[in-house]
Amino acid sequence: MTEPVVRTTSGQVRGEQVAGVSRFLGVPYAAGPVRFAAPAPAPAWPGVRDARRPGPTAPQNHREFPGLDASVLTGTGWRPGPDYLCADVWTSDTGAGGLPVMVFVHGGAFVGGTGSASCYDGAAFARNGVVLVTINYRLGIEGWLPVDGAPANLGLLDQIAALRWVRDNAAAFGGDPDNLTVFGESAGAVSVACLLRSPLAQGLFRRAIVQSGHAEMVHAPEQAKLLTEHVAGQLGVAPTAEALRTVPVQRLLAVQEALAVRGPDLRDASGAAPAHGIASFLPVLDEESLPERAEPSTVDLIVGSCAEEMRLYLVPTGMIDALDEQQAIAMLARTHPEPEAELRRHGLGTDGRSPGEVLSSTMTDLVFADGARRLAAEHAGQAFRYEFGWRSPQFGGRLGACHGVELPFVFDNLAAASGPRGLVGERAPQELATQLNRAWVEFARTGRPGEVGHSALTWQHVETHSGE
C-alpha cells in the first residue's frame, strides 16, 4: 500500500492508496472552531500530517432507527476532537490535473451526521475520474441557532469555508478548481439550496445537486427567535454568544435531545412549519448569508426526491400501522393549517389505504416533493428533476423508496448498506448503482446527467422561469 503525500495551503498531508484510489481523511479546512464565531482558515502545521484515519466529528447525539442500521448514512456518533471542521478527499491521480471536483454535504436534520459515514466512501467517484470531497460542519445549537454576538448560520458559513478550501486546494489533488459541483442530501440538500441563494457562496461552484431538500426549509427570523429563546430558557442563560460559550457541549446536546421530543411551536402566521416537524434547527433568513431575496442562480442544477420519503420515519417505528384517522389528522395539525383537508386530498378515507399510509404520502409531498418541483421550476439556469423509485425490500418490502435510500446507489457503495439490517437489503441492483453514479459524474463533467436506463429513476428536463 502506497502513501501519497500532497501539499495543501496549510501544509503537507499523507494519505493512503487502496485499489488505485488515493484517500486523505480528516484534513482540516478551517481552524478548530471558536464557539459561536465565524470559521477561520486552518493554521499551518509543521512536517507531514497523517491523513490516513477519519477525523473527529461535530458534537451530536446518535439517532437509531428500530430494525435498521442507519449508521452507514449518519455515522456512529460523536467522535470528539478540536479539528472536526475537516474534509475527506478521494482521487485517482493527484498529478492528473483538470478532473471535475464534487463536494458532498451530509444530512442529519442539522443535528447529526458526518461526511465520514461509511456510505460516503468516494472511491467509485474517484475511479470514474472525479475528485470527491466530503465535509463536516457545525450542527445543532452551535451551528444553526442565531444568537446575538455571532453571525447567523454558522453551519452554512462552515460549508462556504469548505468550498473555498476546496477551490484553493483542488489542483493539489488533481482537480479543476473551476469545475466544482456541490451536492447534498436531506439537511445537506437544504444546505445546497441555501448555497445557491447565498451571496457569500457565489462563484465557488459551477453545478449543484439537491437530493431530498429545497430552499423553503428555512426559518424566518421571528421563528428562529422563538427557538433561540426556548433553548436559552432551557439552559438558564441569556440568548447571547457570550453566555452560550460558557455552557458545556454535553449540556447543549441534552437540550437538543429534549427538543426532538418537545419543543416550541414554530408555525408561522399561516399555521405552517417549514420542515413539518422533521427538524427544529434550520438555516435562518439573514441579510448577509441567506437573504430572503437573492440574485437568481444560473448554475446547472439537478433536484429531486424519493417517491416514498416519509416511510423511513413511519415504517421502522410502526407508526404507519398504528395511526387512526384522528391521530393522523392530529399529527399533521402540528405543522399544517388545514390537516384534514390536506389528508383528504391525498385520499384519506376514500382510496382504501390506511391513515398512516396516507399520512406518509401526504408528508412526502409537503416536506420534499413539492418544494423540489418549485425549486426546479423557478431556477434561472438549466435544471433537471428526478424521482427515485427503487423500493427497499426491508420490513417485508414496506420500507420502499424511503428517505436516503438513493445514497448507496449514488455513491455506488451498495455493500455499505446491505445485509439483514441494511437500508437496501441483500440483493440491491448493482446496475442501478453503476448507472446512477455515472450520471452524477457526467453531470459534474458536462452539466447534463448521463443516461440511466433503469425504471427506478425518472427524469425531467425542466423549463425554467428564465425561458431557457
Q: What is the DSSP code (8-state) at residue 295?
A: P
Q: In 3D, which of 174, 160, 228 has the Cα closest to residue 7?
A: 174
| Predicted local distance difference test score (pLDDT) of residue 264 | 87
| pTM of the predicted structure, to 2 decimals | 0.96
Looking at residue 468, what is its pLDDT? Answer: 36
C-alpha cell at 271: 399555521
Q: Report the run of H or E that residue 14 belongs to, with start and end.
A: strand 11-14
Q: Give the separation between CA 219 and CA 231, rounded to whole angstroms.
A: 15
> Alpha helices, DSSP H only, in 145-275?
154-169, 187-197, 221-235, 241-244, 249-259
Catalytic entry in 142, 185, 308, 309: 309
- Give just the sign of the alpha carbon dihedral 237, 239, 244, 245: negative
> Letter for the amino acid at 127?
R
Say which residues have a Cβ less than 8 Å from residue 396's Cβ, sequence separation at least 6. none
What was the pLDDT predicted at 209? 99
C-beta of residue 439 within 8 angstroms of C-beta of residue 370? no
Q: Is 309 a catalytic residue?
A: yes
Distance between CA atoms of residues 238 and 270, nearest Å: 29
Interatomic CA distance for residues 150 and 404, integer angstroms: 33
Task: Give me the numbers of helices (H) and strands (E) for the chain, helices first please.
Answer: 16, 13
Instruction: Going from the first residue of the chain to its last (468 residues), give the mean pLDDT of each consecutive group of 10, the final group possibly shorter.
Output: 93 96 98 92 97 97 91 95 97 91 98 98 98 98 97 98 98 98 99 98 98 95 94 97 97 94 84 85 96 92 98 96 96 92 94 94 96 94 96 98 98 97 96 96 94 81 56
* pLDDT at residue 1, as a whole number: 67
User: Residue 295 has what pLDDT?
Assistant: 86
Catalytically annotated residue among 142, 403, 406, 418 = 403
Q: Are 167 and 176 in contact (CB under 8 A)?
A: no
Per the annotation, the verdict on 403 as an active-site residue is yes
**pLDDT at position 463:** 61
For residue 451, indicate whether it is catalytic: no
Distance from C-alpha of 454 to C-alpha of 276, rounded to nearest angstrom? 32
- Residue 29 CA to residue 290 CA, distance in Å, equals 22
List, in order of start, the domains of the chain with CATH numbers: 5-263+276-307+363-462 (3.40.50.1820)
Is the Cβ–Cβ distance between 367 and 274 less than 8 Å? Answer: no
Please, what's the largest Cα pairwise distance for the chain? 69
Query: Which residue out of 10, 22, 116, 186 is catalytically annotated?
Result: 186
What is the per-residue burial (b if ≥16 Cβ within 10 Å, else e) of 66-101? eebbbbbbbbeebbeeebbbbbbbbbbbbeeeebbb
Question: What single string gives the DSSP state of each residue in 134-173?
Answer: EE----HHHHH---BTS-S-HHHHHHHHHHHHHHHHGGGG
